[in-house]
Amino acid sequence: MRMSELLLSFVRAIQSGAALVCLMSPTPSIAEPARHPVPVEHPRLFGFRHRLQRLAKERPGAYRRVVRVARELDADDHSKMISMALVCDIERDERLGRSAVQMAMKYINGPIRKGHVPFGHDLARCAIVYDLCHEYWTIHEREKFHEYMNKTVDANVHSETHVFHNGWYGYKNWGIGLACYATYYENERAPTILKALEQEWRIRAAPALNMAGDGGGWAEGYYVNYWLYEWLLFCEVARCCEGIDYYAMAPRFFRNRAVASMFETYPGIGIYNSRRPIPMGDGGGRAFGGDRDKALSARRILVNHFREDLSHQAVHTFNETTPRSSVGIYAYKDFLWRDITVNRGDLRGFKLSHISLGPGYVYARSSWEEDATYFFFKCGDRFTAHQHLDVGHFLIYKYDELVGDGGHYDSFGSNHDVNYHLRTIAHNTILLHDPSGTWPHIRAGPVSGNDGGQSHDWPHHNGAVSDPAEWRKGRELYDIADILAFEDRGDYVYIAGDCSRSYSPKKLDYFTRQIVFLRPGTFIIFDRVRSCNPSFQKTWLLQAMKVPTAVGQHLVVTNGNGRLFIQTLLPHNPEVKLVTGRELYRYGGKTYAPKRDTGPAPECRIEISPLQKSTVDYFLHVLTATGAGTASVEKAILQVRGGAVNVAVGKAKLTFTMAEVGGNIQIPGTYREFASKIVTEPTLKWKSGDRS
């Protein structure tokens, strides 16, 4: 008897309805069933047929749109094949099923793809068609799919092995996993391949998510929006097919990811009723794209899974402000994942800041209204290729981007990429110029610029570390920054970060940054910088989305309906440069212009330096975000005395110590020392709303 027949007999003998609870229910629940054998019947990836048929009745609007994509609209193969497979299964439509199979056969009969190409997407879409249209495949076609799947797996054993990098999850293993579950009893290698995937997940990938994703952010930055949805889809398939809980193996990431994702969107609803994720490293989502719908669907999957958790119920309320995918052909995502039976939480009463220690991210808002002021800060370690040399960087948004992320991701390792886009000069932090400074190769690109910024000794072409064990082994290279303190007191947020180790020790002793966000829209930023040589010029950077104008003693940036007032209190009488136009991408006598425009980017780099060179310098700025109709803001008052920097901003008085990180704040009726550690709320203080 063949191995597959033995497995089939065994499973049919022991399978019971109790083992298939997750398939019978319309949506996932937080109570996980015991692990059980993979169902014999098809379909099984998204549950049995009667489950999908019930969903079609419960979600008629979304299902009608899926039917239209399946039968009428032009669409990319991925959306078309998934939509056709769903409708084929629900309606037992043989003609549609055969059409979907023929589309799959184009990939099956084509060349085996390997390397840094999305071969996992090819496997996934074919696997979904294999499962949902199973009865319409001929025996020969099924065998061809098994052969194609096995050859693709074998060709990519050494592809996308870095678990801190998007490819492991998106380009590779989600598709391999779906193909294994779809062919489980027919392709004799499927159980073995699936077991190997699970083992690698447990040993290498889940620890990476817990490390670089602690708190729900992800050190790779924006790329999480490109691959997380696919990996979550696999996790849901694994849960339904086998009762395995992949989320439980990386709880520090998954239990916080939906909240972090919500905080990683700018306020306001934009084009096609979508929300724009913030720029973090490569990518950035400046132009509208399907990554916005992926982020929404990923949050929905996690909300459905952790539905009893109050914070996830608040995320559900946030998700429901954009109830449809913005790209019409993605209707199948709404059909599968939008579950309005989740309790709606109190979003207005939800916390206004979040910290993710893994990547070193802090997110803060003034409110959950669409006109809120938004702030993002990063001060974390190095893990992956898509990160930039930007420790200490921040973003400010009010109605529109005011302080942004410079340069364009025109291509990986381009002249512009390695000399401007990913370099410190394109971010909102500090330059320290050593004329003799050199940079090792970056992303195998042509490095020639000495921007005075942060450095990293790239161990190979993309700068990524392969897994947590390698990270710990090379900790001196990758452990480059720390968030020293964080506290949200409601009327203000306080953050302190140590950025020192992100620079060459040959030129910098220390650089610490303290930030106070006085809600609703004022930011006080105090930096302490000590160089190894007093002749090294220090430069404070701000990437302004529009060229600022002078209003009295202030620089003012106006973008759309938003405005930012910039007050420089330290250094005294600084040198201020506005770098714009053709000069924006030029420094050191060389120009590093981008090869393409990726969307609205900062149009001016503000450079602020002390006139007198010194070993130690202090920078103090007050930035106030308002609506564009605001003509002026109250002048901040500075006093430097007794080893302390004192600043009065309206009714608030702040003191920063100059010798070390510390200080205090006085707001009428309140005096507080700044936190000296990371303080987070121990309990949630909001209540669940009524069931919607």
HEC letters along 5-50: HHHHHHHHHHCCHHHHHHHHCCCCCCCCCCCCCCCCCCCCECECHH
Residues 185-204: tens digit of each pLDDT: 999 999 999 999 999 999 99
The partner residues of 277 in beta bridges, in order of sequence, read 265
Distance CA 39, CA 33 (A): 14
Containing 204, the helix (H) or strand (E) segment is none
* C-alpha 224, offset from chain centre: 4
Whether pLDDT at 552 is above 90: no
Q: Which pLDDT score is estimated for 33? A: 55
Query: Given its phi and psi angles, is residue 519 left (phi above 0), alpha (psi -120 to 50 degrees) or beta?
Result: beta
Containing 297, the helix (H) or strand (E) segment is helix 291-305
Q: What does the pLDDT average to over 240-263? A: 98
My answer on whether 327 and 367 are in the same domain is no
User: Which among 348, 353, 352, 369 is positioned nearest to 267, based on CA atoms?
Assistant: 369
My answer on whether 300 and 442 are in the same domain is no
Sign of CA dihedral 665, 666, 669, 673: positive
Query: Given its phi and psi angles, is residue 38 left (phi above 0), alpha (psi -120 to 50 degrees) or beta?
Result: beta
Amino acid occupying residue 88: C
My answer on whether 534 and 599 are in the same domain is yes
Per-residue DSSP letter, 442: B
Write the CATH number for 70: 1.50.10.100
CB 294 within 8 A of CB 288: no
Which two three-digit tokens encode residue 620?
A: 């103090």
Residues 46-71: tens digit of each pLDDT: 999 999 999 999 999 999 999 999 99
Which two three-digit tokens encode residue 535?
A: 């002749």
Q: How far is CA 19 from CA 35, 183, 236, 240, 416, in A?
A: 8, 20, 16, 10, 55
The domain boundary, picked from 306, 339, 372, lies at 339
Beta strand extents in 288-352 (DSSP E only) = 343-345
Q: Which pLDDT score is estimated for 12? A: 45
Q: Which residue in this structure is represented by tokens 């042509």?
A: 446
Containing 558, the helix (H) or strand (E) segment is strand 554-559
My answer on whether 293 and 359 are in the same domain is no
SS (H, E, C) 55-79: HHHHCHHHHHHHHHHHHCCCCCHHH
Compute the mean pLDDT over every residue in the chain, rounded to the nearest whole number. Answer: 93
Q: What does the pLDDT average to over 659-688? A: 81
Per-residue DSSP letter, 419: I
Beta carbons within 8 Å of 111's beta carbon, 6+ residues apart: none
Q: What is the dihedral of CA 272, 220, 313, 178, to 10 degrees?
A: 80
Which two three-digit tokens encode residue 12?
A: 């049919």
Whether pLDDT at 29 is above 70: no
User: In 10 A of CB 341, how many CB atoms?
Assistant: 12
Beta strand extents in 204-356 (DSSP E only) = 343-345, 353-356
Distance CA 428, CA 375 (A): 13
Q: Which pLDDT score is estimated for 100? A: 98
Answer yes or no: is 686 within a domain: no
The pTM is what?
Answer: 0.93
CB 337 within 8 A of CB 26: no
Answer yes or no: is 92 within a domain: yes
Write the CATH number for 517: 2.70.98.70
Which two three-digit tokens encode residue 265?
A: 């969107």
Answer yes or no: is 345 within a domain: no
* Burial category of 278 from C-beta neighbours within 10 Å (exposed 0-12, middle 13-18, buried 19 and up): buried
More confident of the two residues 461 and 370: 370
Q: Which pLDDT score is estimated for 5? A: 46
User: In 10 A of CB 76, how many CB atoms?
Assistant: 11
My answer on whether 497 and 576 are in the same domain is yes
Q: Give the end-to-end CA distance of the chain in Å, rounded to a whole number.
A: 53
Domain extent, residue 84, equals 42-339
Highest mean pLDDT among 19-23, 24-28, 640-644: 640-644
Q: What does the pLDDT average to over 265-270? A: 97
Task: Report the side by side order of strands in the sheet with 549-551.
Answer: 482-488, 492-498, 508-518, 522-531, 616-627, 562-570, 554-559, 549-551
My answer on whether 457 and 320 are in the same domain is no
My answer on whether 117 and 168 are in the same domain is yes
Domains of the chain: total: 2
Answer yes or no: is 690 within a domain: no
User: In 10 A of CB 447, how many CB atoms?
Assistant: 18
Distance CA 533, CA 515 (A): 26
Residue 26: which pLDDT band, with cuts at 50, 70 and 90? very low
My answer on whether 444 and 481 are in the same domain is yes
Distance CA 570, CA 514 (A): 14
User: Which among 467, 465, 459, 425 is positioned nearest to 442, based on CA atoms?
Assistant: 459
User: Which among 126, 46, 30 is positioned nearest to 81, based on CA atoms?
Assistant: 126
Q: How far is CA 165 from CA 278, 357, 359, in A?
A: 19, 18, 13
The domain boundary, picked from 272, 307, 339, lies at 339
Q: Which pLDDT score is estimated for 461? A: 66
Q: Which pLDDT score is estimated for 332? A: 98
My answer on whether 301 and 398 are in the same domain is no
The domain boundary, picked from 618, 635, 652, lies at 635
Q: What does the pLDDT average to over 453-465? A: 81
Report residue 91: phi and psi, to 5°.
Answer: -105, 0
Q: Which pLDDT score is estimated for 459? A: 75
The partner residues of 364 in beta bridges, in order of sequence, read 353, 375
Helix (H, G, I), strand (E, B) or coil at 167: helix
Answer yes or no: is 688 within a domain: no
Answer yes or no: is 464 within a domain: yes
Answer yes or no: is 7 within a domain: no
CB 359 within 8 A of CB 423: no
Residues 121-176: tens digit of each pLDDT: 999 999 999 999 999 999 999 999 999 999 999 999 999 999 999 999 999 999 99
Residues 418-449: tens digit of each pLDDT: 999 999 999 999 999 999 998 877 888 889 99
My answer on whether 326 and 453 are in the same domain is no
Residue 324: which pLDDT band, with cuts at 50, 70 and 90? very high
Beta carbons within 8 Å of 662's beta carbon, 6+ residues apart: 656, 673, 674, 676
Answer yes or no: is 681 within a domain: no
Distance CA 188, CA 180 (A): 10
My answer on whether 71 and 109 are in the same domain is yes
Which two three-digit tokens encode residue 483?
A: 């968030």
Q: What does the pLDDT average to over 75-99? A: 98
My answer on whether 541 and 443 are in the same domain is yes
The region of weakest confidence among 6-20, 303-317, 493-507 is: 6-20
